[in-house]
Amino acid sequence: MQLRTRLEEGGTPRPAKWGIDSEYGRLRDVLIGPVDHFSWQAGNAVAQRSERVGLRFDFAAARAQYAEMLAVYRQAGVEIHTLAPAAELPYQIFARDSSVMTPWGAVIMQLQKPYRRGEYAECLRFYLDAGIPIYDLVTAGNVEGGDFMVLKPGVAACGYSGERSIEPAVRQLQTWFTNEGWEFHTYAFDPHFLHLDVQMGMLAENLAVVCVEAVEPELVAWLKAKGIRIIAVPYADAMQLGCNVVALGDERVLVPASSKNLIAACRAEGLTVYAPDVSMIGNGGGAVHCMCQALRRDSVAG
């Protein structure tokens, strides 16, 4: 298998099976990180806050919640793929960050935190062993998958705070997508928010959840210019990972059980909501979107 399938001049062919062209096409295959060695880490701001307010990590609870989430994917007809667990990687559960899927195959990302940098190894082995094309590997610095989204056919976005994702690495991704004829929107934000998927997420076609009171007005204006309607959630909800969602396709969405305001709003939109409790994992720094990487979605391109 080729380690890189990207063509320098663009025009990279799309794989017959793998890839995505949106965040909301029906999800067929998903990559999930393992729970085996998960624990809260002091280098994560969310985990630090959880411990500061008196919460304590319970591995048995985290494992049970993880199993509940996997059951939801199975109920929704999604095939689950799992990274091989490595004892030295406590945040490997958050498979969103070590790679991202594009229309042309996977991109292997670079992670910022020292205790996460080794995650690329099992991630790379997974794609090679599974025969899933690797579009390319980021070499211009750290950029994490929680900042990246394929919003709709022809349009992608990537945020950067200067910490988890830095501008040179984001610009490298932007060049690749621009060469393929895609619009690639970049968005700078305060590192307090960790990743872009703490601030927004796609729920369905042309429907997003956004923490409007926290993001810059230009992001809201850009989304609206792309024909994307917004369900606004308060800052307090966003800080509890209330925007960290996974669109399953066919008007179905996976939302953390704690996101009660968003769950009600989604149901009012006529969406079917799956809402597993992932609070023990979420209090360590990531919810349902952080734990998954879409490998295959039905194309929604016209």
- Looking at the structure of the chain, the number of domains it has is 1
What does the pLDDT average to over 211-224?
Answer: 96
**Does residue 234 form part of some domain?**
yes
Percent of residues, the chain, with pLDDT higher than 70: 99
d(CA 129, CA 166): 30
Q: What is the pLDDT of residues 3-14, one digit of tens each?
A: 999 999 999 999
The 8-class DSSP code of residue 27 comes to E
The mean of the pLDDT values for the chain is 96
- List the strands of the sheet with 292-297, edge to edge: 79-82, 27-32, 292-297
In a domain, 21, yes or no: no
pLDDT exceeds 80 at position 302:
no
Specify if 11 maps to a domain.
no
Measured CA to CA, the distance from residue 69 to residue 64 in angstroms comes to 9
List the one residue out of 116, 115, 96, 92 whose CA is nearest residue 107.
96
pLDDT (mean) for 121-136: 97
Counting DSSP H helices and E strands in the chain, the numbers are: 8, 15
Q: What is the pLDDT of residue 50?
A: 74
CA–CA distance from 281 to each of 35, 50, 261, 276, 278 (Å)?
A: 9, 11, 20, 11, 5
Query: Is pLDDT above 80 for 74?
Result: yes
Alpha helices in 180-275 (DSSP H): 217-225, 235-239, 260-268
Q: What is the pLDDT of residues 219-276, one digit of tens each?
A: 999 999 999 999 999 999 998 899 999 999 999 999 999 999 999 999 999 999 999 9
Query: Could you tell me what percent of the chain has a pLDDT over 90?
Result: 91
**84 inside domain:** yes
Average pLDDT over residues 196-207: 97
The reported pLDDT for the residue numbered 217 is: 95
Residue 103 within any structural domain of the chain: yes
In a domain, 187, yes or no: yes
Do residues 80 and 111 touch, judged by C-beta distance below 8 A? no
196 by Cβ neighbours in 10 Å (0-12 / 13-18 / 19+) ranks as buried
Residue 34 lies in a domain: yes
What one-letter code names the amino acid at 52?
Answer: R
Q: Is 128 helix (H, G, I), strand (E, B) or coil?
A: helix
What gap in Å lies between CA 210 and CA 213, rounded to an integer? 9
Q: Which domain holds residue 268?
A: 27-297
Encoded amino acid at 46, one letter: V
Q: Where are the alpha helices (DSSP H) in the chain?
A: 45-52, 59-75, 119-130, 167-179, 217-225, 235-239, 260-268, 279-282
Write down the pLDDT at residue 1. 66
- Say which CATH number the domain at 275 has: 3.75.10.10
Are the C-beta atoms of 262 and 288 separated by less than 8 Å?
no
Contact 156, 177 (CB under 8 A): yes
**pLDDT over threshold 70, residue 283:** yes
CB-based contact 279:285 (threshold 8 Å): no
Residue 16 domain-assigned (yes or no): no
